[in-house]
Chain A
Amino acid sequence: MTESSQDKNIRIMTYSEVAEVKGFVGNFEITIRRKPRYIDETKCTGCGECIEKCPTKAANEWDLGLGIRKAIYKPFSQAVPNVPVIDPEICRYFTKGKCSVCSKICQAKAVDYDQKEEFITEKFGTIIVATGFDQFDTSAYGEYGGGRFKDVITGLHLERMLEPSGPTGGHVIRPSNNQEAKRVVFVQCAGSRDEAKGMPYCSRICCMYTAKHAILLKDHVPDSQSYIFYIDIRTAGKNYEEFYKKAQREAGAIYIRGRVSKIYEKGDQLVVRGADTLTGEQVEVEADLVVLAAAAVPRDGAKELAKILNIPCDDYGFFTEAHPKLQPVESVTKGVYVAGSCQFPKDVPDSVAMAGAATIKACAILSQDELIIDPKIAHVDPELCSGCLDCLEVCPFDSIKAEVVNGRRVASVVQSLCHGCGNCAAVCRTKAANVRGFSDDQIYAQISAPFSAIEEKSIEGAQ
């Protein structure tokens, strides 16, 4: 991210959202909501003194609550730009009207409490959507403690713990008492492949990151022991199966085939009840720490974004590609591409490959002076059009525009947006709208052709 921010052809707008998208491929007009940081980015030197002196603390979202942050904070260490942001929800200046320690201490005079939300509108040629995924909230599983047990965490929590510069300094600890965790039980498919929880799909990444965690845990705590409950191990990738076996053989992870039925507390330990379907026995494992491999789910707001971008998403909220096999990075809206886990959960190599593909597809369009489009699209005959604009209502691609011809309001088709679905032709009461090559006259002619041949033959027969 830092490297990209230094490239002269790349502009990164963090803490910003796409509010509105108008136009079409090559001519998108995008309104971006820039949220106020309450810091003047051009003045701030990123020294961090304000963060040190800020008196208000809150749970750190980046560390999933394992650590704390201040009311003025940098979201994470490599954040771009390298300037802090003020959280107005908890900042004393915003909540009580006094404090302003950060403003007083800042030598660059960069703190600006009066910053307001800004909207900027710019033109863009193409759009690549890469909004990623969220982690399923495992507190939906009452039988796993429903969020009550402090020592039942998720894979992301463990990932933060294993990070040397993370909230625990690279130590794997039990959040309940800060002791080192020696016996760790991993529970795979915590949400994934669970139709009752609304996620019948496999999240694809958990098998591999759990194997990675088992290996890293052995590295960090050599006398640790990990147990991994799983339904199936899915290692479909280059060197993945070998990696999984390494977790078993070198890290000594015990894989137990069966879904965990419940987790309960016994003294200061957790007990994980499951089954070993390979022996057919019930199993109970005593654990210091339980790590749930939470399902990957669409981002909050993915469906709203889909509406803004005018692209479809599936029942779960993952953006839909134009064709599952042949157009995996295109959306049905021309000029809008999807990459990474916003389309469906995928791992780093797959995301990188998809991002590369989406980029080159987007560049290919931008490099051309003219756009080649499918000829089988709709057109409206302005002479016949009554200007009712029923077609505008039914067009799923926003490709009908109202315009004035000879002083009369008529509909017209934006050629680069039309997909030739024929909805407009179906509703048009004056037969002004038609799909080229599939006009009403042409279709009637096709239907009547075989019948007229039969008719001629029967007449000949009668003679």
Chain B
Amino acid sequence: MKVLSSQENIHQFRNEIIALSGEDASNCVQCGKCTASCPIALEMDLKPSQVLRYIQVNSRKPVLECATIWLCASCETCSSRCPEGIEIATVMDTLRKLAVEEGLATGQEQIVAFDEVFLDSIKRHGRVHELGLVLRYNMASRKPLKDAHLGPLMLRKGKLSLLAHRIREKAKVREIFRQSRRFLRG
């Protein structure tokens, strides 16, 4: 049972999210339009509107441990339809960051690993190197031969290339990474 004790500052989590993202969950009136709009809501353990509700009542742990924040595809349908103008996708981003920082993203190792490999690939090459991404993700998820049989076919058809494509302004992409201070290791 949730106990709101006299020692607890009920606005703590909400204020933290405001400081990190600029988004105030207490503006949410729980109309449910975000949940209704979300294409992945069926798969989510907490619906988007529930995530905001938990922030309102200072329920930190259930939010940072939920699968929802990792299933969110950042399509931003919720943000664009929210009648209160809350950038819900931004809130989800912030929650992912907090979850990784606090080691609460348990059970989501594959998604976290994919995010890391994906962003690292962009950071290195300026865009995704598909073959490198697949190989590294397979290693990270300890299934090195997963989908390996498709490799030669895709290479032959030009869907994958051995070497990474290069872009002109790689330094600028790095700058974006530096500035956004994402949670990539290394």
Residues of A within 8 A of B4 (CB): 227, 254, 283-286
**A interface residues, how many (CB within 8 angstroms):** 22
A249: Cβ under 8 A from any B Cβ: yes
B162 within 8 A of A: no
Interface string of A37-67 (1 = CB under 8 A from B): 0000000000000000000000000000000
A252 to B57 CA separation, bound complex (whole angstroms)? 11
For A225, the chain B residues whose CB sits under 8 A away are: 10
Q: Give A248 to B28 CA distance when docked, in angstroms.
A: 10
Residues of chain A within 8 A (CB-CB) of B3 are 283-286
Q: Are B2 and A282 in contact (CB under 8 A)?
A: yes
In the complex, identify which listed stretch (B48-56, B67-75, B101-109, B164-172) lies at the interface while the others stay far away.
Answer: B48-56
B110 at the interface (CB under 8 A from A): no
Chain A residues, Cβ within 8 Å of B27: 249
User: Given the interface contacts A225-B10, A248-B26, does A279 sit within 8 Å of B1 by beta carbon?
Assistant: no
Distance of A183 Cα from B10 Cα, bound (Å): 11
Residues of A close to B24: CB separation below 8 A:
249
B1 touches A284 (CB 8 A): yes
> Does B141 make an interface contact (CB < 8 A)?
no
Q: Are B1 and A283 in contact (CB under 8 A)?
A: yes
Query: Which of B10, B11, B54 gathers the greatest number of chain A CB atoms within 10 Å?
Result: B10
Cα A269 to Cα B7 with chains together (Å): 13
Taken together as a complex, chains A and B put the C-alpha atoms of A15 and B81 apart, in Å, by 59
The interface centre, meaning the residue of B3, B4, B6, B29 with most chain A CB atoms within 10 A of its CB, is B4
- Kindly state whether residue B30 has any CB partner on chain A within 8 Å: yes
Partner of A183, one of B6, B30, B50, B59: B6
The answer to whether the Cβ of B5 comes within 8 Å of any Cβ in the partner chain is yes
Q: Which residues of chain A are within 8 angstroms of B10 by Cβ–Cβ distance?
A: 225, 227, 252, 254
A286 touching B5, Cβ below 8 Å: yes
Closest beta carbon of chain A to B54's beta carbon, Å: 6
A279, B53: Cβ atoms under 8 Å? Answer: yes
User: How far does the alpha carbon of A276 sit from the alpha carbon of B54 in the complex, in Å?
Assistant: 10
Q: Is the CB of A284 within 8 A of B11?
A: no
Interface readout for B1-33 with A: 1 if CB under 8 Å, 0 if not?
A: 111111000110000000000001011011000
Residue of B nearest to A254 (CB): B10
Q: Which B residues lie within 8 Å of A281 (CB)?
A: 1-2
Among B1, B6, B26, B53, the residue within 8 A (CB) of A278 is: B53
Is the CB–CB distance between B1 and A282 below 8 Å? Answer: yes
Interface residues in A244-287 (C-beta closer than 8 Å to B): 245, 248-249, 252, 254, 256-257, 269, 276, 278-279, 281-286
Contacting pair A249 B26 (CB below 8 A):
yes
Of B1, B6, B49, the contact of A269 (CB 8 Å cutoff): B6
CB neighbours (8 Å) of A252 from chain B are 10-11, 26
Distance in angstroms from A421 CB to nearest chain B CB is 49
CA A284 – CA B8 in complex, angstroms? 12
A257: contacting residue among B1, B5, B30, CB under 8 A: B30
Cβ–Cβ contact B2 & A284, under 8 A? yes
Q: Are A276 and B57 in contact, CB atoms less than 8 angstroms apart?
A: yes
Q: Check B57–A256 contact: CB distance below 8 A.
A: yes
In Å, the complex CA distance between A286 and B2 comes to: 11
Check A279/B57 contact, CB under 8 A, given A249-B27, A284-B1.
yes
**Cross-chain contact B30 with A278 (CB below 8 angstroms):** yes
Query: How many whole Å from B167's CB to the nearest CB in chain A?
Result: 45
CB closest chain-B residue, reference A279: B53
Bound Cα distance A282, B4 (Å): 11
A248 to B3, CA, bound (A): 20
Q: How far is the CA of A245 from the CA of B2 in the complex (A)?
A: 24
Bound Cα distance from A282 to B1, whole angstroms: 5
A257 to B53, CA, bound (A): 11
Complex: how many Å from CA A391 to CA B54? Answer: 69
A371 shortest CB reach to chain B, Å:
52
> Which chain B residue shows the least CB distance to A252?
B11
**B57 lies within 8 A of A254 (CB):** yes
Q: How far is the CA of A227 from the CA of B4 in the complex (A)?
A: 10
CB nearest neighbor in A for B59:
A279
Residue of B nearest to A276 (CB): B57
Task: A269 to B5: give the CA distance in the assembly, Å.
Answer: 11
Residues in B with CB closer than 8 Å to A248 are 26
Q: Which B residues touch A256, using CB under 8 A? A: 57
Q: Let me know if A279 and B50 touch, CB within 8 A.
A: yes
- Nearest CB in chain A: distance from B55 CB, A: 11
**A248, A257, A278, A283, most chain B CB atoms within 10 A:** A278
Give the residues from 180 to 197 in chain A that come closer than 8 angstroms, CB to CB, to chain B.
182-183
Contact A286 B6 (CB under 8 A): yes
Q: How far is the CB of B12 from chain A (nearest CB, A)?
A: 12
Which residues of B65-106 are within 8 A (CB) of A? none
Instruction: Please state if A279 and B6 are interface contacts (CB–CB under 8 Å).
Output: no
A286 and B11 CA atoms in complex are apart in Å by 16
Give every chain A residue within 8 A of B59 (Cβ-Cβ): 279
Tell me, rounded to whole Å, the shortest Cβ–Cβ distance linking B83 to chain A.
12
Supply 6 further A-B pairs (C-beta < 8 A) apart from A278-B50, A282-B2, A283-B2: A254-B10, A276-B53, A278-B30, A281-B2, A285-B3, A286-B4
Q: Which residues of B contact A (CB under 8 A)?
A: 1-6, 10-11, 24, 26-27, 29-30, 49-50, 53-54, 56-57, 59
19 contacts between A and B (CB under 8 A): A227-B4, A245-B29, A249-B26, A249-B27, A252-B10, A254-B4, A254-B56, A254-B57, A256-B57, A257-B30, A276-B53, A278-B49, A279-B2, A279-B50, A279-B57, A282-B2, A284-B4, A286-B3, A286-B6
5 closest Cβ contacts across the A-B interface?
A285-B4, A282-B1, A278-B53, A284-B3, A286-B6
